[in-house]
Structure 1
Amino acid sequence: MSLLAHEVSWSVGGRLVVDGVSLAPAPGTTTGLLGPNGSGKSSLLRLLAGLRPADAGVVELDGVPLARVGRRTAARRIAVVEQNAATETDLTVAEVAGLGRIPHRRAWSAPSRSDEDAVERALERVGLADRAEEAWHTLSGGERQRAQIARALAQGPHELLLDEPTNHLDIAHQLDVLDLVARLEVTAVVALHDLNLAAMFCDRLLVLKDGRAVAAGTPAEVITEDLIAEVYGVRAEVEPRGPEARPSVRFLPGRPV
């Protein structure tokens, strides 16, 4: 089972936002999307999710173009967690997670026992089983994000797409959320800004600049001082170096020469 993009492009107002990008994450791995603001990360995730059609190229699910898979089938397979996801504030944590079961239910039907079991398992996996009956809006920022991940997991997805899931979270919650994602038995693609978090938790990285892919590979292959200077326009020291390393980035004052 696989989700892939082959040379996909998408433009708005005549400007190419995603320009001929390919991505084929291995099943069960976590792939990080890196790049500065406006590089096309969020737009690529929306193409992968089928939320917008590509102008060129193709997104495939198990070898079938996503446009032919069907919206309901795709919604059962592909779950999306957006940055700062909002939910009606009068819902409980369990009800938020239960929104993920909508693709599996007939219109207007009540939740089945299997739906309830899926929600319970999802909340258990994100560590919120004991908060199930509490109001979603009473949770901390990190707990709210975990509840949104529980909603995605309740779908029973094989692919999980996350757009800046650590945005506006403190460092402890950033680590908690990404450690959770990395341990899930799904194929995850996650857009991130923090290079050190990407190096810690991602198996592979794809770096975008101005809508185009400029580097792809393991964190050790991708996160280099030269790439950081080229893509982000800043100076940095990267240690340690080596094919098996999980690199650590220290940013330096001043611009590259």
Structure 2
Amino acid sequence: MTGPAADGTAPGLRAGRVGRRAGGRFVVDGVTLAPRPGETVGLLGPNGSGKSTLLKLLAGVLGPSAGVVTLDGRPLAQVGRRAAARRIATVDQHAYTQNELTVREVVALGRIPHRRPWSAVSGDDARAVAAALARTGLTALADRSWHTLSGGERQRAQIARALAQEPRELLLDEPTNHLDIQHQLDLLELIAGLPVTTVVALHDLNLAALYCDRLLVLAGGRAVAEGTPGEVLTPALIERVYGVRAEVTDDGGRPTIRYLRRPPTADR
């Protein structure tokens, strides 16, 4: 947990016992999350556990039905969308545009929160876009059509767009979905090395163990475990949350999970 700032406020992006009701029930129920500056926090849990909803609450896309999301101690609703967008960047599972945009133009969308409507591109905007392209290895593809990119390249372009915002907090919703293992590793290596506070929803427990500093596990909308990968990813937790048996070994302080087949039933 992070401590208070010099003025007594809580630094960074925090969720305090947040809940979100939908369809007559809480899809997120009393979850608290306080990422430390610069760390990568992995959100884990089965489908329907509330990961995407929690990310939307942190981003201000949804408002909480209970609890509060704060940015430097101020409720996010009071910060304002434009000011929040200068601090918080998001990368969704699926990104698509029907417009014929180049990679550079897609990345430049990240500068919108920093510009006045209809204003010309500034030197700061151009420098931020160039830096984001370079950081994600896309400089050589900057003038390519976004539609011609592979899945991994599109995800990198979306991260570059987020980086062009020059955020201090980055939220990603299952960014490795539909990528082959090489692109999953490349993408998470990039994310883990960014100089921002990152909250990323993931399905793959081994990737979460490898790249995240801390994990928050959700089940049924509630937080059931939080801590380092070594503290959280135990056989008991995996069976409780995911309903599967697993062996967990320590690999230099990072757990490695090996899933076990179910024992044969009597009629097999």
Q: TM-score range by the shorter chain?
A: over 0.9
Aligned to 1:108: 118
For 2:97 and 2:190, locate their aligned partners in 1 and report how far apart those are by CA, in whole Å: 21
Structure 2 Cα separation of the partners of residues 7 and 239 of structure 1: 33
What is the CA–CA distance in structure 2 between the aligned matches of 1:103 and 1:121, rounded to whole Å? 17
Select the residue among 204, 213, 221 that pairs with 2:214: 204
Which residue of 100, 107, 111 maps to 1:90? 100
Give me the whole-angstrom Cα distance separating, in 2, the residues matched to 1:115 and 1:155: 9
When Rg is computed on C-alpha atoms for both structures, the one with the higher figure is 2
The residue number in structure 2 matching 1:254 is 262
Map of 1:1-257 to 2, 5 A cutoff? 1-240=11-250, 245-254=253-262
Q: Deviations over 1:35-81 (max 9, x none)?
A: 00000000000000000100010000001110110110000100000
Residue type of the partner of 1:34? L
* Per-residue deviation, 1:15: 1.2
Aligned counterparts of 2:98 and 2:55: Cα–Cα separation in 1: 24
- TM-score norm. by structure 1 comes to 0.96
Query: Structure 1: any 5+ residue segments left out of the alignment?
Result: none
- Structure 1 segments of 4 or more deviating over 6 A? none
Q: % of aligned pairs identical?
A: 68
Contact map agreement 1:208 1:214 (CA 8 A) in 2: yes
Deviation at residue 112 of structure 1 after TM alignment: 1.4
TM-score (structure 2 length as normaliser) = 0.93
- Please say if residues 89 and 136 of structure 1, whose CA atoms lie closer than 8 Å, have aligned partners that are also in contact: no
Aligned residues: 253
Aligned partner of residue 31 in structure 2, secondary structure: strand
TM-fit CA distance, 1:89? 4.8
Question: In angstroms, what is the RMSD of aligned CA positions?
Answer: 1.1
CA contact 1:199–1:246 (8 Å) conserved in 2: yes
Q: Which moved more, 1:13-22 or 1:104-113?
A: 104-113
